[in-house]
Amino acid sequence: MIRFQTAQEAEDAFYDALEERDQTKMMAVWDDSPDIALLLPMQALVTGGKVRDLLRDLLRSDMELELQIKHIQWVEIGELAIHYVEEQPEGPPGSAVPPLYAVNIYRRRGESGWTMILHQNAPAPPPPGAMPPGMSIPPRVG
C-alpha cells in the first residue's frame, strides 16, 4: 500500500488521480477504515466502501476532472489535517468556469503515513445578485 509522508503528498496524489483517472492511485490515497466519507454536490453523502464505488464511477464518467487547486487554509490538529481548497475546473481559453470549494481531511497513521478520510466539495457561488446573502438552505415551501 502506498502511503504519504505528509497530508500535502496525499492531497497531490488525490488530484493527480482525478486528472489521470487512475483508479489504483485514487484507491491508495484513502484510509482503509469505515470512517471515510465523500460528499459531492447533488449526491447523497456516502461512507466506507461506498466511497470507493462512487470514486470509481466518477473516474469513469465524462466529467471534467482537471482542477487547478488553490489552498485557502490548512489546519493541523493532532493526527488530523484539514485542508480548505478552491478547485478551479479547466475550461476553454477565455471561459469563466466558476470554482468549487472543497474540504479535505487527512489522518496520520503513525509510521505508515497520511491517508484521506474525507473529501467534500460544494458548488460555486452564483453570479453576484443572483441569490440573497445567506441563501443556502431551501426556502420555506408553501
Residues that bind a second copy (CB under 8 A): 35, 37, 39-45, 47, 54, 57-58, 60-65, 67, 72-73, 75, 77-80, 82, 84, 86-87, 89, 91-92, 95, 97-98, 100-101, 103, 105, 107, 117-118, 120-126, 131-142
When the beta carbons of 28 and 51 are compared against a second copy, the nearer one is 51
CB of 50 to a second copy, least distance (A): 11
Residue 24 C-beta: closest distance to a second copy, Å: 18
Question: For the chain, what is the radius of gyration of the CA atoms?
Answer: 16
Query: Least Å distance between CB 12 and a second copy?
Result: 18
> Nearer to a second copy by C-beta: 24 or 95?
95
13 vs 40 by CB, closer to a second copy? 40
CB nearer a second copy, residue 20 or residue 123: 123
Query: DSSP letters of 34-51?
Result: TT-EEE-TTS--EETHHH
Residue whose C-alpha cell reads 462512487 in the numeric block:
54
Question: What is the C-alpha separation between 72 and 84, in angstroms, rounded?
Answer: 5
Least distance from a second copy to the Cβ atom of residue 68, Å: 13
Nearest residue to 63 (alpha-carbon basis) of 121, 105, 11: 121
**CB contact set of 110 (below 8 Å; sequence gap of 6+):** none
All cell numbers assigned to 50:
461506498
- Shortest distance, CB of residue 81 to a second copy, whole angstroms? 11
> For 32, which DSSP code?
S
In this structure, the dihedral spanned by the alpha carbons of residues 25, 34, 115 and 77, taken in order and rounded to 10 degrees, is 160
